[in-house]
Each structure stands twice: as C-alpha cells, then as structure tokens.
C-alpha cells in the first residue's frame, strides 16, 4: 500500500488518502453534474384510485399462518378530495362475457367489494363507477395466473456488480417517478445484512427502481466508499421541487455510479479506495474500537470502515437515476494528522473509530408550510433534511432544491447550544408539525428543532431506539409522541423520569409514562409501541419491552396485563398496521400480523394470528432481530396497509395486500401529512412505524358505521 497526497480541488481539503495499488481509473466526468439533462415528462397524472385485487389461493392451508379468507377483495382508493357522500358501483365481466353489476345498494361505507363467488380459473375484469353513473372510475383485470399467488412478485435485476454476492432486498420507498399516477418502487439492495457497527466486508450498496409491473428502470451503485448498513445508507425518495416527479437523495462519494454511468471521481479522474485497511484498525487517537461480537474483544476493528475521503449528498432524478446536483455532506471536522483529526472526532462526535461519527440520516420536511389539510395539496416545496451524529454532538442541516442546486437554508449544531442538547437523538429523526403552526419540525429524539432551525424544546430524556409521532388521544389538542429510552441517567436524571413516555409534541412535556427505577440491566428499553388495539378502552394503548403492562395514552393507567403475541409467543411491539377490517389496528413483526382481539372475519381456529407471510415464501424481514419489512404502508387499494418483504431466496420482492373485508373507509393514508412523513421516512436508521396525524380509533370508526352519509 502506498500513500498519495492529493488536493481535492472541489472541496479545498488536504486529505491524506490511503489508496490501493490497483485503483480503477475512469474518465473525468464528474465536474459538472448539472450539464444538460434530458427533458422530464411534463404531463403528470394525479388522483389514481390504485385499484387492486387480493386473493389467497391457500387461505385454508394452515390454521395458524394462512389468511383464513377465501373470498377475493377488490379495493380502491378514497381520495381526500372526494365529497363525503361519494358512493360507488362495481361491475364484473368474466372471460369477456357481459358485465354484471355486483352491488345492489351503492357502496358508501367502504371502497372495497368482497367477491365470494370469484371463479379464479377465469379472467375477471372489475370496473368501478360513481353510483348510478356510467363513466369508469377505475378498473382491474385479474387473471387466473395472478390468482395463483397471494402476493404480487417483482423479480430483482440480475445485472449486479458482483455475481457472487447476494444483494438482498432491504429498505424500500415508494414514489411516482414517471408521472403516470402509479407509484414506483425504489429498493436498496444490501451486500449483506445487519451492517450496524463493525467492519464492512465486500460488495457495494445498490439503489434500484422498478415499476409495479416488474419493469426494471435503473440502478445506482453507491460504490466502495459508502459503508453498507442501516446507519450509513439512508436515502429519501420525495418530490422536492413540486413537478410531480420524485427525486432521490443519499450520501455519495468517489465511486458512486449513477444510472447513466457517470461516476464520481477525484479531480484526476480516479476513484480512490478510502476503506481502512489496517487489520488492527483501532481508533487513531483512542486506540479503541467496537467489537462485532460484544463478548469477544478480538473482533474489535475498524478495518473496512471509511474515515477519510470526500462525502457528498447527491440528489438524482427518480425518473432516470441521473444526478441533478451534489453538495458536501456535513463534514467530519478536524484537521492535520490522523491522530489530531481523530482527537477532534472523539471530543466532538464521541469516538474516533467510526461509530458515533458515522450516523447519517436523510429525510424531508415542509418547513414553509405543510400540505393543505382539507385537500392534501401542497402550496410550498419541502426541504431536504440531513443529519450527522447521535450520541454526543449532532448536526441537522436543511437544504432546498432550487434551480437544480441544493441551497442551504439553516444548519443546527449542538455545539452552539446548551450541553443538555447533546446525545439526544434516536436511531432516526421524525418529521411532524409538532407545535401546530402549519410547518414541520424535526424531532431529533428527545430534542425538537423548529421549522426555522431554532430550538423548539429539549426534554433531556436522551437516546432511544423508538419514536412514534401521531394522534393518540382523541380529545387532546395537538400531536403526541410515544418513545422509549436507553439511559436511566438521562431519562431519570434530567428527563421526564420514565423509560417509556407519552409526550406532548408541542413542548416535550410528559403526559404519562411507565418504567421507573428499573433494574440496571433492564433500564435500556429498546421497544415500545402505540396503537388502538382494545376497542373497549378509550384512546390508544401503549406498551414497551419493560412488559409492565398495556397502558392508556390518556394517563388513566393500566388497560391490560396481556399483550398481542406473535411467533414464539413473543410480545409484539415492533410496528402497528391497518390490515384487518376491524376498528382497531394490528401488530406486525417477523412477517406475522397479530390481532390483540380475536378476529371474527377469519375462517380458521387461530383468530389472533391473521397471517404469517413466510408461509407464502417470503422471508421474515430485514435487520436481524428487528425483522423490518422492506416497506409497509397504504399504497394500493383501500386504506389498509400493504406489506413488502423479500422472498426467502432474496431474489424477489413480494407485495402483500389485505384480503380482509371491512365496513370502514378512510382517504388514502398518504394524503394525511403526518402519515406521509412517517411512511416516507420509515426506514431511516432503525425503521419505525407509520402513524396518522388525526384520530382514527375504534371510537371514530364504529361511529362512522352508524352514521348516515352526509350531503
Ligand atoms: Ca409512476
Ligand atoms: Ca420533483
Ligand atoms: Ca410546526
Ligand atoms: Ca392499501
């Protein structure tokens, strides 16, 4: 190994660079990423009904794990702009024969139809109109071939950089990339699973886009200088400039290859390999490192980590994966020798061995005004939010995409604030209008940054793994936060006093909590969940891995000492999902959906476990013990949430959509701003659940059943 001194002209940095002897040399083609890009589509279709047919061909095969529902469910979107008295008719044509109207009365309580008489050996064409009208609102052709699987399969692209590596489907985000009104899928493919802390082996991280029909659109290769893993490869897919087409933003470096083949190089057209090659690679200043196996100090190393070289934020067109522009990432800081830089990192970020310094999140927030609550229409463009650091100092920057440039709006650095602000972040940030002024805030764990980049509040509870924001108490104004925390010295010492709390989003104060004076080895509470699961208890329930009970968010205390339990009878507290047609929400963990109360709609003996997707050939989820689905959220059919998992052979993604009947309807969940932010950023860092910003619980859904449609 030899060492070069090179000037990275673009960044005015003098960097000491470790290069391998066989650096690939590529064309100098990175100087002007904004050179003429081909035109984008200008016709953008909105208002899709996302009609879908879900049918389980093995519904009765397994009393625990199959769905237990033999009918087909045909469903479509309710739009936010639909009048409250909207009603529908549905027609079916079988194998091209004359169309038959299926409903007798207009369909006014749901946006779905249960077809118990479906003949899946034939082609069934369903067509929906407004009640008593002829014009087609949406239609869907369901073939006998589609009826062979409960899921919709998309096979992953086989053209990968290293055929010997399994690039397993990891986090997925959805967005309209081409303006045709249908959401496309962007999947991150990881060269191996669970790259959370330690060394990085071989392979690079890929971002790939697909259409719902399986058409492969493009691939971006993050390259050798972007460490693989949940904490390092956050990306965000969102329409930042309001043209109706999504952009994608992520961290990039030398070696990042965009979909048109352009590669980021140094000023000499070279891709340097910045991966640390020191086999004993400890921190350069402290001599410390983190062990992949906490019980085996010999596994401590920084070999393979990237602590030098340029870091950028690239933003690309979702349409074709071409780079629009890039900007320098929040810098590592420090200067001079390795040791003096590492000393700075240790003092500023909290370590010098690439753990605390290398925590990167990226997301989106409407800092000038959230979309109109009544129509869902946006009047301002959102900002790109990037961050670095969790455990000691941390920074959050807001950037605006203007004229194909990323323009800094504000920068928040805890070094400029009281020491209480340090170490406050969760393994993600969340975005919501915390103070109800119509603009988004950044909830950075136990601290909140106002829309203008100033302090909103810091409650001192410290770091935690789980962060939910939504409307969990029906008659209380504003939003609530449910979170659990890791360090008793923080949550008891300077915070609100409990390991798991329901928090007033407006000011960070506690509404209620549990988990006090926990034994030391139980004081790190790694999981908590909030959902309406008990229709007989007002407001949402919340519980945590303290297993002290299920409590009401409204502070009235214990609801139950039993929990929804999943695979291996484990208590469920991963994420909540709208899957059944009941007025409550279910739990999703390990690719298994569980209802707290017995579900009357399933024709099987186990009426709590609604489905286990691995019966159908999926895996149980990503990220080791977290078992995160690639994605879940409402993007097809009615308001119930779809689940995307990788196949058991990691070569496909499987999209599951509910087949449960319902008596309820809700507008497309993504048209609720709080839900939209939660779904769009669900897989930042440690994946988090989705939550609505208005109250939906058994109280409201049961009430709507008995209400007459309003004029
Ligand atoms: Ca599309
Ligand atoms: Ca756009
Ligand atoms: Ca606000
Ligand atoms: Ca749905």
pLDDT per residue as tens digits for the range 153-172: 999 999 999 998 999 999 99
Give the model confidence (pLDDT) of 301-357 as tens digits: 888 889 999 999 999 999 999 999 999 999 999 999 999 999 999 999 999 988 899
Q: How many angstroms is it from 238 CA to the middle of ligand 2?
A: 7
| Cα distance between residue 652 and residue 98, in whole Å | 37
Q: What's the pLDDT score for residue 123? A: 98
- Spacing, Cα 248 to ligand 2 middle (Å): 9
The tens digit of pLDDT for each residue in 193-251 reads 545 555 666 789 999 999 999 999 999 999 999 998 889 999 999 999 999 999 999 99
CA–CA dist 551, 564 (Å, integer): 13
Residues in the chain: 711
DSSP string computed for 647-698: BTTSSEEEEE------S-----GGGSHHHHHHHHTTTSSS------SS--SH
Query: Given this model, what pLDDT does residue 36 score?
Result: 86
pLDDT at residue 707, rounded to an integer: 54
**645 alpha carbon – ligand 4 mean position (Å):** 15
Q: Is the pLDDT of residue 709 over 50?
A: no
CA of 445 to the centre of ligand 3 (A): 16
Instruction: Calculate how far, in angstroms, residue 640's C-alpha sits from the geometric centre of ligand 4.
Output: 4
Ligand having the closest approach to the CA of 577: 4
Please report which ligand is nearest the Cα atom of 640.
4
Ligand whose nearest atom lies closest to the CA of 217 = 1
pLDDT one-digit tens code per residue, 5-42: 333 333 333 333 333 334 444 444 454 555 789 999 99
* 182 Cα: distance to centroid of ligand 2 (angstroms): 15
Question: What are 343's two structure tokens?
Answer: 């000393």
Å from CA of 240 to ligand 2 middle: 5
pLDDT of residue 25: 42
- The pLDDT tens digits of the residues spanning 649-687 come to 999 999 999 999 999 999 999 999 999 999 999 999 999
Give dist(CA 369, CA 469) in Å, integer.
18
For residue 174, the CA-to-ligand 1 centroid distance in Å is: 10
Task: Tell me, yes or no, if the pTM score tops 0.85.
Answer: yes
What's the gap in Å between 328 CA and the centre of ligand 2? 21
For the segment 359-366, the average pLDDT, to the nearest whole number, is 97
d(CA 626, ligand 2 centre) in Å: 32
Extended strands (E) in 81-202: 88-94, 100-101, 112-115, 124-130, 136-142, 152-155, 168-175, 184-190
Q: What 3-state class would DSSP assign to 626?
A: helix
Task: Give the distance (Å) from ligand 2 centre to CA of residue 475.
Answer: 37
Distance 115 CA to ligand 4 centre (A): 17
Residues with CB under 5 A from ligand 2 (ion): 239, 241, 243, 245
245 Cα–ligand 2 center, Å: 4
CA of 495 to the centre of ligand 3 (A): 23
- Residue 705 burial (10 A CB sphere; 0-12, 13-18, 19+): exposed
């Amino acid at each position: 190994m030899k060492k070069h001194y090179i000037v990275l002209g673009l960044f005015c940095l003098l960097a000491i660079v470790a290069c391998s002897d066989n650096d690939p040399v590529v064309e100098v083609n990175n100087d002007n990423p904004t050179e003429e890009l081909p035109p984008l589509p200008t016709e953008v279709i909105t208002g899709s009904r996302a009609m879908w047919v879900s049918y389980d061909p093995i519904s009765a095969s397994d009393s625990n794990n199959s769905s237990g529902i033999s009918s087909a469910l045909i469903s479509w979107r309710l739009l936010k702009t639909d009048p409250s008295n909207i009603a529908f008719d549905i027609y079916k044509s079988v194998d091209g024969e004359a169309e038959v109207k299926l409903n007798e009365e207009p369909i006014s309580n749901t946006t779905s139809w249960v077809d118990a008489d479906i003949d899946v050996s034939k082609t069934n064409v369903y067509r929906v109109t407004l009640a008593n009208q002829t014009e087609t609102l949406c239609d869907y052709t369901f073939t006998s071939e589609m009826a062979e699987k409960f899921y919709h399969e998309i096979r992953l692209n086989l053209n990968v950089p290293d055929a010997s590596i399994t690039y397993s489907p990891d986090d997925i985000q959805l967005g309209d990339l081409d303006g045709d009104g249908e959401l496309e899928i962007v999947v991150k493919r990881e060269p191996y699973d669970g790259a959370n802390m330690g060394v990085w082996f071989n392979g690079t991280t890929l971002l790939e886009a697909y259409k719902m029909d399986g058409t492969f659109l493009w691939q971006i290769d993050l390259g050798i200088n972007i460490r693989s893993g949940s904490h390092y490869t956050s990306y965000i897919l969102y329409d930042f400039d309001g043209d109706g087409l999504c952009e994608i933003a992520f961290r990039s470096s030398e070696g990042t290859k965009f979909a048109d083949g352009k590669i980021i190089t140094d000023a000499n057209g070279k891709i340097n390999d910045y991966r640390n090659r020191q086999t004993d690679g400890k921190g350069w200043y402290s001599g410390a490192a983190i062990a992949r196996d906490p019980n085996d100090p010999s596994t401590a190393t920084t070999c393979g980590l990237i602590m030098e070289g340029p870091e950028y934020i690239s933003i690309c067109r979702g349409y074709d994966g071409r780079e629009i522009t890039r900007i320098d990432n929040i810098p590592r800081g420090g200067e001079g020798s390795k040791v003096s830089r590492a000393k700075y990192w240790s003092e500023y970020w909290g370590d010098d061995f690439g753990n605390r310094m290398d925590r990167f999140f990226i997301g989106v927030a409407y800092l000038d005004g959230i979309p109109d609550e009544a129509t869902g229409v946006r009047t301002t463009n959102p900002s790109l939010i990037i961050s670095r650091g969790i455990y000691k100092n941390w920074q959050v920057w807001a950037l605006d995409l203007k004229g194909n440039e990323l323009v800094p709006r504000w920068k928040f650095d805890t070094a400029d604030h009281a020491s209480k602000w340090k170490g406050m972040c969760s393994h993600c940030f969340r975005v919501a209008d915390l103070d109800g002024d119509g603009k988004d805030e950044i909830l950075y764990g136990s601290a909140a940054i106002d829309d203008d980049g100033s302090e909103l509040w810091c409650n001192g509870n410290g770091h935690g793994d789980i962060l939910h924001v939504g409307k969990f108490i029906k008659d209380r104004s504003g939003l609530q936060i449910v979170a659990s925390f890791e360090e008793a010295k923080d949550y008891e010492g300077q915070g609100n006093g409990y390991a798991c709390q329901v928090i007033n989003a407006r000011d960070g104060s506690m509404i209620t909590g549990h988990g006090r004076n926990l034994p030391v080895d139980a004081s790190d509470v790694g999981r908590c969940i909030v959902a309406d699961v008990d229709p007989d208890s007002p407001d949402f329930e919340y519980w945590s891995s303290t297993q002290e009970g299920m409590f009401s968010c409204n502070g009235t205390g214990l609801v139950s000492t039993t929990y929804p339990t999943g695979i291996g009878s484990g208590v469920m507290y991963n994420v909540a999902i709208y899957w059944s047609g009941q007025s409550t929400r279910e739990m999703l963990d390990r690719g298994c959906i569980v209802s707290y109360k017995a579900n009357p709609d399933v024709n099987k003996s186990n009426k709590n476990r609604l489905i286990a997707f691995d019966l159908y050939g999926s895996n149980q989820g990503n990220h080791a013990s977290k078992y995160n689905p690639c994605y879940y959220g409402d993007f097809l059919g009615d308001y119930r949430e779809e689940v995307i998992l990788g196949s058991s052979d990691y070569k496909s993604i499987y999209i599951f959509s509910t087949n449960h009947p319902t008596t309820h309807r809700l507008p497309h969940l993504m048209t609720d701003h709080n839900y939209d932010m939660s779904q769009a950023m669900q897989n930042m860092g440690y994946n988090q659940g989705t939550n609505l910003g208005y109250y939906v619980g058994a109280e409201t859904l049961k009430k709507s059943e008995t209400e007459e449609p309003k004029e």
